[in-house]
Amino acid sequence: MKTFEDYMKSFLEGEVLLKEGLVSEHIYIREYACRHCDKFPPLEDVPEDLSEQWFFAIRKVFDAFEDLREFVGRPIFISSGYRCKEYQKILTARGYKTAEVSPHNFGVALDIIVGDERDNQVAVSFLELYHSDLRIGFQLYNHKFIHIDTAYLLPIKKLQELKILPTLVRGVSLQKYWTEGKRW
C-alpha cells in the first residue's frame, strides 16, 4: 500500500519538495497537513488503484492553486488543507459550519485567502475561467475565503463500498453533493 509520501516522491520533484518542507511549489507541508496531528491523507488505507486516483485528485487541486498563485503573483494564505476525521469532529464541536464529511478529510480541498473581498472575487473569476471543473465555495463564506476542491475526482462509489465514504449526506446521495463544477 502506497502512502501520500510514496506518491509525492514518485511525482516529478516530489522528493525534493518534501525535503524542503513543501508538497507543491508554493504549498508548505505545515499549510497542507492536518493542523491537529500533522498527518497526510491516509492513502495507504485503500487498495492501490484507488489511492492512485485519490492522489491524482489531490494533485489536481494543487495544480489549480499553483495556476492561481502564478496569476496573483504573490503568496496566497492557506487556512485549511487536509483535516483528519478527528480534527473535523473537533471543529464541529467548536461550532464551525463544517460538513459531516468534507473533501478536506480526503486532502482534496484547500481554503484560501487571496486578500480582501475584491481580491478574492478576482481570484474566483480566474478559477471560474481556467478551472471551472473545480467545486468552489465563496458566496456562503461572505467572500472572506475561497474553498476549492476536486472531490468529484475521488473514486466515490468504491470508497462507499469500502465504507470510507457515506452513501447519504443529510438524506441525499453523496454523489449529488460532490459534483463537478458545484458552486455555493
Residues 146 and 28: beta-carbon distance below 8 Å: no
State the Cα–Cα distance between residues 106 and 58, nearest whole angstrom.
8
State the Cα–Cα distance between residues 82 and 66, nearest whole angstrom.
17
**Is 87 or 145 the residue whose CB approaches Zn ion more closely?**
87
State the Cα–Cα distance between residues 84 and 102, nearest whole angstrom.
10
Q: Is the Cα torsion angle 116, 121, 127, 132 positive or negative in sign?
A: positive
Least distance (Å) from Zn ion to the CB of residue 27? 17
**Is 91 or 127 the residue whose CB approaches Zn ion more closely?**
91
Total residues contacting Zn ion by CB under 5 A comes to: 5
Copy the grid coordinates of residue 85. 476525521
Q: Counting contacts by CB under 5 A, is residue 91 touching Zn ion?
A: no
Interactions with Zn ion, residue window 127-166 (CB under 5 A): none
Only one of the segments 71-79, 87-95, 100-108, 155-163 lies at the binding site for Zn ion (rule: CB under 5 A); that segment is 87-95
State the Cα–Cα distance between residues 139 and 55, nearest whole angstrom.
28
Least distance (Å) from Zn ion to the CB of residue 97? 19
DSSP line for 70-115: HHH-S--EEEE----HHHHHHHHHTT----SS-GGGGT-EEEEE-S
**Is 34 or 124 the residue whose CB approaches Zn ion more closely?**
34
**Is 84 or 153 the residue whose CB approaches Zn ion more closely?**
84
**Is 26 or 39 the residue whose CB approaches Zn ion more closely?**
39
Interactions with Zn ion, residue window 25-84 (CB under 5 A): 34, 36-37, 84
Least distance (Å) from Zn ion to the CB of residue 102? 13
Computed over its alpha carbons, how large is the radius of gyration of the chain? 16
Least distance (Å) from Zn ion to the CB of residue 37? 3
Identified binder of Zn ion from the candidate list 7, 40, 55, 87, rule CB under 5 A: 87
Residues that bind Zn ion in the complex, under the rule CB under 5 A: 34, 36-37, 84, 87
